[in-house]
């Protein structure tokens, strides 16, 4: 089976996730700078979450360039990823309303960690379907970014109970690491 429906469905779900997040933004009720400062935490949470969802969309687009066919395992692994990403708007809203509070900051980190684990599962499902000599298997190599990301998320989750601001910094660091779509895939595709 082809990958077009998988890509279209994923694009639609991700677009809905971003739409839900923007609808959760708090509108300032007033016309001065103090009012705007009051909604800054919600806006900061939105910006970080939008960046994360956009990073997943960009990398998902690149990932699908390595896929020649999909099977049920890949479809379910992709649905698993989308499910966990669909929780980002709720965690974003909670963090925005309670910025730097320990529990919302930790839950936000968990909400970032689980899609990362699901992403790994999707990669493994694709490699299982495409074979160990697949483009994706060759592109991943040692996958240092993929291994470092969960470690940084877990560190951020733990630090949320002592230094929540450092948690946000670690979550942002992971986003910066993945901001540019995976060049390993581009490199292998251009070589092949």
Look at the block and give the residue holding tokens 């669909």: 86
List of long-range contacts for 137-146, beta carbons under 8 Å, 24+ apart: 138/188, 139/66, 139/182, 139/184, 139/185, 139/187, 139/188, 139/189, 140/184, 141/184, 145/177, 145/178, 145/182, 146/119, 146/120
pLDDT band at 143 (very low <50, low <70, confident <90, very high): confident
pLDDT at 192 over 70: no
pLDDT at 2 over 90: no
Total-model pTM: 0.94
Average pLDDT in the chain: 94
pLDDT score, position 185: 81
pLDDT one-digit tens code per residue, 14-56: 999 999 999 999 889 999 999 999 999 999 999 999 999 999 9
pLDDT at 181 over 80: no
């Amino acid at each position: 089976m082809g990958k077009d429906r998988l890509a279209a469905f994923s694009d639609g779900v991700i677009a809905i996730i971003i739409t839900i997040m923007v609808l959760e933004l708090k509108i300032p009720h007033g016309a001065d700078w103090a009012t705007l400062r009051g909604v800054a935490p919600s806006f900061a949470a939105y910006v970080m979450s939008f960046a994360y969802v956009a990073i997943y969309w960009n990398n998902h687009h690149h990932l699908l360039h390595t896929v020649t066919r999909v099977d049920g395992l890949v479809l379910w692994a992709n649905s698993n990823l989308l499910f966990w990403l669909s929780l980002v708007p709720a965690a974003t809203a909670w963090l925005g309303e309670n910025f730097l509070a320990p529990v919302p900051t930790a839950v936000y980190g968990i909400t970032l960690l689980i899609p990362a684990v699901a992403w790994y599962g999707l990669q493994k499902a694709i490699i299982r379907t495409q074979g160990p000599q697949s483009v994706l298997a060759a592109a991943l190599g040692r996958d240092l970014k993929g291994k470092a990301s969960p470690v940084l998320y877990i560190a951020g989750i733990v630090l949320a109970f002592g230094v929540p601001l450092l948690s946000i910094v670690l979550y942002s660091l992971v986003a910066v690491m993945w901001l540019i779509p995976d060049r390993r895939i581009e490199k292998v595709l251009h070589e092949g």
